A and B are shown apart, each in its own frame.
Chain A
Amino acid sequence: MLVVALGVGFGLSWYALSDGRLFGASQYGPWVTWTRAGAPEPDPYTRAFITRNAALQLGQAEGLTLVATTDSDGRRLDRACRYRVDGRTPTSTFWTLIPVDDHDGSVARPDGPPGFHSSRIARSNDGSMQLYFSKTLSPLNWIELTGDGPFSLVLTLYDTVIFSGVGASETATLPSIIRESC
């Protein structure tokens, strides 16, 4: 009984604060966010997540951070592959998209930009974007990855209206992450 209790108790807690989708986190395609992380009165799960994450959370008025650890087909992001982030982003003053490792350090080439910035990318005529992450040369907007192993993409929307009441249509505009080759 004790083994079951400890397994359920700590296992459920670990799941709640890492994946968290059944508790405080929301998922939109490959993007996961804790929508209450910047609130003055977070729920107990979000409060525990804030503690465990130990990050300087963005306040609700400042923006929102979304993290993708998988591509749109649910496969873990791997630096051996080439990925295309394709589509649009929800309305925001600007956004950044950074590839990071398990310690949240950028895995982009050290002497280049750490990631994409919305004001410094080339877009299609219809306003959509194609952003590439890979170790090998890629067309259009490209961030060169370094190192090996899994990575995550951190999309930070500053001054966004993603959850300001027009949520359904805004979250639908999050871009896809497409694995092109490995």
Chain B
Amino acid sequence: MVRTLLYLLGGLLLGLVIHLVVILILPRISENAAYTQVASIEALNRTTLLALPKAGEANPLHLDPDMSYGLCKLDLSAGPGEVTGTLPLAFWSVAVYDSTGTVLYSTTNRDGIGQTLDLGIFDPAQTRLLAEQKIDISPGLLIVEARTDEVFVVVRLAPPHPSVRDRYEAQLERLACRNIAI
């Protein structure tokens, strides 16, 4: 009886260890994370509209069918990244993701940045150079520090009416997404 209880207790403790290991290593070993899914989309150094799934189709990225999405991928090993352009007069927001799908930074145009998006993304080494004023950037650039060199940016735009969606998406697609020459 005592031995059985000890086995159960041992199993419980070992189970808790397995649980903690699973939780901690899942982000490292998963092949189905958001970054893996956007990896197949051609969006390096350019803004690509994400296709919204039709009714009944699977929606692995959990896109909101009422929104329009612009995706751009940046490799900061080639230099700091920037996403810049003018967006339509409607609600929009921007989020910078690292390679684990974690949101590093996000903001909306309700935060006083109006219609113009001017976002700079720097890795830790580039941020140091920036602090030492060894990189020239345009004034007013929103500065985001990324932990990894592989990042992606998603701009969400809310067309006020379905009839203007195409026009708004065309403007969204014109956002510049590139590395800054240093």
Q: Does B74 contact A (CB under 8 A)?
A: no
Interface size class of A (residues with CB under 8 A): 35 or more
Is B95 within 8 A of A50, CB to CB? no
Is B62 within 8 A of A159, CB to CB? no
Is A96 within 8 A of B55, CB to CB? no
Contact A159 B108, CB 8 Å, known A8-B15, A51-B30 = yes
Residues of B participating in the A interface, judged by any CB pair closer than 8 Å:
7-8, 10-12, 14-19, 21-24, 26-27, 30, 32-34, 36-37, 53-67, 69, 91, 93, 95, 97, 100-108, 110-111, 154, 156, 158, 160
Is A156 within 8 A of B64, CB to CB? yes
**A44 to B20 Cα, complex, angstroms:** 9
Is A62 within 8 A of B30, CB to CB? no
6 cross-chain CB contacts under 8 A: A10-B19, A39-B103, A51-B27, A105-B54, A147-B56, A158-B93
**A98 to B57 Cα, complex, angstroms:** 14
Which among A8, A13, A104 is the interface contact of B23 at CB below 8 angstroms?
A13
Is B100 within 8 A of A50, CB to CB? yes
Which among B12, B67, B91, B111 is the interface contact of A61 at CB below 8 angstroms?
B111
**A98 to B167 Cα, complex, angstroms:** 24
**A119 to B158 Cα, complex, angstroms:** 11
Neighbouring B residues of A108 by C-beta, 8 Å = 55
Is A3 within 8 A of B11, CB to CB? yes
Least distance between B21 CB and chain A CB atoms (Å): 8
Residue of A nearest to B110 (CB): A159
Neighbouring B residues of A40 by C-beta, 8 Å = 102-105
* Most chain A Cβ neighbours within 10 Å, of B57, B58, B66, B108: B66
Least distance between B156 CB and chain A CB atoms (Å): 7
Which among B19, B97, B156 is the interface contact of A8 at CB below 8 angstroms?
B19
Which among B33, B95, B160 is the interface contact of A51 at CB below 8 angstroms?
B33
Which among B23, B34, B57 is the interface contact of A54 at CB below 8 angstroms?
B34
Which among B55, B69, B111 is the interface contact of A114 at CB below 8 angstroms?
B55
Is A94 within 8 A of B56, CB to CB? no
Is B58 within 8 A of A104, CB to CB? yes
Neighbouring B residues of A17 by C-beta, 8 Å = 23, 26
Q: Does A169 contact B (CB under 8 A)?
A: no
In A98-138, the 8 Å CB interface with B consists of: 98, 100-101, 103-110, 114-115, 117, 119
Residue of A nearest to B63 (CB): A56
Is A50 within 8 A of B101, CB to CB? yes
Known: A1-B7, A159-B110. 4 other contacts (CB 8 A): A4-B8, A62-B93, A114-B55, A119-B160
Is B56 within 8 A of A104, CB to CB? no
Least distance between A91 CB and chain B CB atoms (Å): 12
Neighbouring B residues of A168 by C-beta, 8 Å = none
